[in-house]
C-alpha cells in the first residue's frame, strides 16, 4: 500500500487525459453499475467523448433511466444511451444479459464496474453475496462477452477492451494472508457465516478478481486476440459516507473526472500511485492465482454455468 504522503503527492501529479480513440464515433460501450458512482461518471465521460452507443447496465432499470436522463441533459446528447437490466446476484440474469450483448453488431469495450461491499452475511446461489457479485458473476460475464470482443476486433479492425474495476484495498498483507489460509475450496470457505469477517471479505473479493483477470489475460494475450484484458486496480472516488471523517482534506486534493486541474468544488477522483505488490505476481502469487482460477471454474460448472476455457482460449 502507498503511504499517505505518496498518496497525497500523487494527487498533484499532472495527468494527461488520454485522447478518445479515433473510431469513437462508431464505438459501442457497456458500463455495469452505471447508475451511480464511478460507473455513472465513466458512462458520462463516454457520452462526452462522443461514443456512438453506450449501454448502462444496471440492476434497477428505474435508477438507470434516471441516470440516463441526467447524463443526456448534461451532455446534450438526447438520443444516445440505453438502459439494460443486469443483476449480478443472479447467474441467469448474467446469462440473459450476455445473450443480448452477443447480438450486438459491435462491442468496443465493457467496463465491469458494478460491485458491492457487504457488512452482513447473506448467501445467494450458495455463495456469500459479495463473492458472488464481485467475483463469480463478474467473471462469468467476462467469459461470456469475450467472444463478442474478439469478433469485433476481426470485423472492424479495432482493439477492444475488457476492463474489470477492482481495488488496491486487496493489496494489504493481511488480505493476502487471509486468502492463503482459507482451507479447501475458496468459494466454500468464504461462504461460511461463522468465519465471515466484513473487514476482509470485500478486499478478498477484489484480490480474487485480480487473480482471475490476470489468469484470463495470460491465457488470452492481446497479441493473440486484439482484446486488452485488464483489472483497474486503483480507482478512487470521494465517497460521502465512508470518507466523512477525512472528507475536507480529500476534497481539497480531489480532481474531477474530466479535468486534470485540481478543483475543490466538484471533487471526485483520487488516484493512488500504481503499484502491484510483488507477492501478487511472484511464484507464490502464481500458485494462488491458479488455485483461484480452478476453484472459480469448478464453481461455475457446479452451478450449471460452466465455461469452455479451451474453446475460449483457442477462438480467434
Ligand atoms: N469508491 C471507491 O473509492 C472505490 C475504490 C476502489 C475500487 N472501487 C470499485 O469501483 C467500483 C465502483 O465503486 P463505486 O464507489 O462507484 O460503487 P457504488 O457507488 O456503490 O456503485 C456500485 C454500483 O454497482 C451496482 N451493483 C451493486 N450490486 C449489484 C448487483 N447485484 N447487480 C448489478 N449491479 C450491482 C450498484 O447498483 P445500485 O445502485 O442499484 O446499488 C451501483 O450501480 C466497484 O467495483 C468498487 O469495488 C471503488
- Segment 226-271, tens digit of pLDDT: 999 999 876 655 443 344 445 556 566 666 665 544 443 333 444 4
Query: Measured between alpha carbons, how far is 179 from 292 in angstroms, rounded to an integer?
Result: 10
Overall average pLDDT of the 212-222 stretch: 95
The mean pLDDT value of the chain amounts to: 87
CA gap 83, 70 in Å, rounded? 13
206 is catalytic: yes
Separation between Cα atoms, residue 167 and residue 207, nearest integer Å: 8
Query: How close is the Cα of 218 to the center of ligand 1, in Å?
Result: 26
Q: Of residues 44, 148, 176, 206, which has the active-site annotation?
A: 206
- Closest residue (by CA) to atom 11 of ligand 1? 113
Q: 21 falls in which pLDDT band (50, 70, 90)?
A: confident
**Residue 118 Cβ contacting ligand 1 at under 6 Å:** no
Establish whether residue 37 lines the binding site of ligand 1, counting it when its CB lies within 6 angstroms of any ligand atom.
yes
CA distance 110 to 265: 30
CA distance 126 to 180: 22
Domain annotation covers residue 107: yes
Ligand 1 pocket check: which of 114, 141, 170, 251 to mutate, most ligand atoms within 8 Å of Cβ?
114
The residue from 29, 202, 211, 272 that is catalytic is 202
Atom number of ligand 1 nearest to Cα 168:
6
Q: Where are the beta strands (DSSP E) in 59-206?
A: 82-85, 109-112, 123-124, 127-128, 160-165
166 is catalytic: yes
Residue 143: per-residue pLDDT: 98
Distance CA 258, CA 271 (A): 14
Q: What is the pLDDT of residue 260?
A: 42
Residue 301 lies in a domain: no
Q: Measuring CA to CA, how many Å separate 258 from each of 41, 247, 267?
A: 9, 21, 11
Domain that holds residue 125: 25-236
Question: What is the Å distance from ligand 1's center to 242 Cα?
Answer: 13
Over 90: is that where the pLDDT of 17 sits?
A: no
Specify the CATH number for the domain of residue 194.
Answer: 3.40.50.720
Ligand 1 mean position to 307 CA, how many Å?
Answer: 25
C-alpha dist (Å) from residue 301 to 32, 95, 298 = 24, 14, 5
Instruction: Give the pLDDT score at 185.
Output: 98
In a domain, 51, yes or no: yes
Q: Is the pLDDT of residue 171 over 60?
A: yes
Q: 253 in a domain, yes or no?
A: no
CB-ligand 1 contact for 116 (6 Å cutoff): yes
Residue 251's alpha-carbon distances to 244, 246, 288, in angstroms, are 10, 9, 37
Catalytic residue among 137, 166, 167, 170: 166
Within a domain: residue 243?
no
Is residue 269 domain-resident? no
CA of 308 to the centre of ligand 1 (A): 28
End-to-end CA distance of the chain: give it in Å, rounded: 38
Residue 266 falls inside a structural domain: no
* Total domains in the fold of the chain: 1
pLDDT in tens, 89-124: 999 999 999 999 999 999 999 999 999 999 999 999
**Would residue 263 count as lying in a domain?**
no
Distance from the CA of 261 to the center of ligand 1, in angstroms? 26
Amino acid at each position: 500500500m502507498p503511504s499517505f504522503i505518496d498518496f497525497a503527492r500523487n494527487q498533484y501529479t499532472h495527468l494527461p487525459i488520454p485522447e478518445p480513440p479515433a473510431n469513437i464515433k462508431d464505438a459501442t460501450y457497456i458500463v455495469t453499475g452505471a447508475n451511480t458512482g464511478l460507473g455513472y461518471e465513466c458512462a458520462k465521460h463516454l457520452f462526452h467523448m462522443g461514443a456512438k452507443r453506450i449501454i448502462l447496465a444496471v440492476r434497477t432499470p428505474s435508477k438507470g433511466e434516471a441516470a440516463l436522463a441526467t447524463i443526456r441533459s448534461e451532455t446534450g446528447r438526447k438520443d444516445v444511451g440505453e438502459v439494460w437490466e443486469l443483476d449480478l446476484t443472479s447467474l441467469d440474469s448474467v446469462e440473459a444479459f450476455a445473450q443480448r450483448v452477443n447480438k450486438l453488431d459491435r462491442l468496443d469495450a465493457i467496463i465491469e464496474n458494478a460491485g458491492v461491499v457487504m457488512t452482513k452475511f447473506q448467501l445467494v446461489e450458495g455463495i456469500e453475496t459479495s463473492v458472488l457479485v464481485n467475483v463469480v458473476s463478474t467473471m462469468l460475464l467476462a467469459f461470456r462477452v469475450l467472444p463478442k470482443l474478439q469478433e469485433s476486433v476481426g470485423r472492424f479492425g479495432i482493439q477492444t477492451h475488457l476492463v474489470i474495476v477492482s481495488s488496491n484495498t486487496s493489496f494489504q498483507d493481511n488480505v493476502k494472508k487471509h486468502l492463503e489460509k482459507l482451507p479447501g475450496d475458496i468459494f466454500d470457505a468464504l461462504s461460511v457465516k461463522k468465519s465471515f469477517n466484513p473487514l476482509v471479505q470485500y478486499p478478498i473479493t477484489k484480490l480474487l478478481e485480480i487473480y482471475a483477470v490476470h489468469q484470463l489475460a495470460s491465457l488470452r494475450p492481446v497479441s493473440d486476440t486484439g482484446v486488452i484484458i485488464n483489472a483497474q486496480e486503483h480507482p478512487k472516488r470521494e465517497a460521502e459516507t465512508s470518507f466523512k471523517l477525512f472528507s475536507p482534506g480529500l476534497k481539497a486534493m480531489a480532481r474531477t473526472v474530466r479535468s486534470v486541474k485540481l478543483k475543490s468544488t466538484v471533487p471526485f477522483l483520487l488516484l493512488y500511485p500504481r503499484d502491484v505488490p510483488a507477492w501478487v505476481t511472484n511464484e507464490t502469487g502464481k500458485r494462488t492465482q491458479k488455485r483461484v482460477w480452478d476453484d472459480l471454474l469448478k464453481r461455475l460448472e457446479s452451478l450449471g454455468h460452466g465455461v469452455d476455457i479451451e474453446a475460449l482460449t483457442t477462438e480467434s
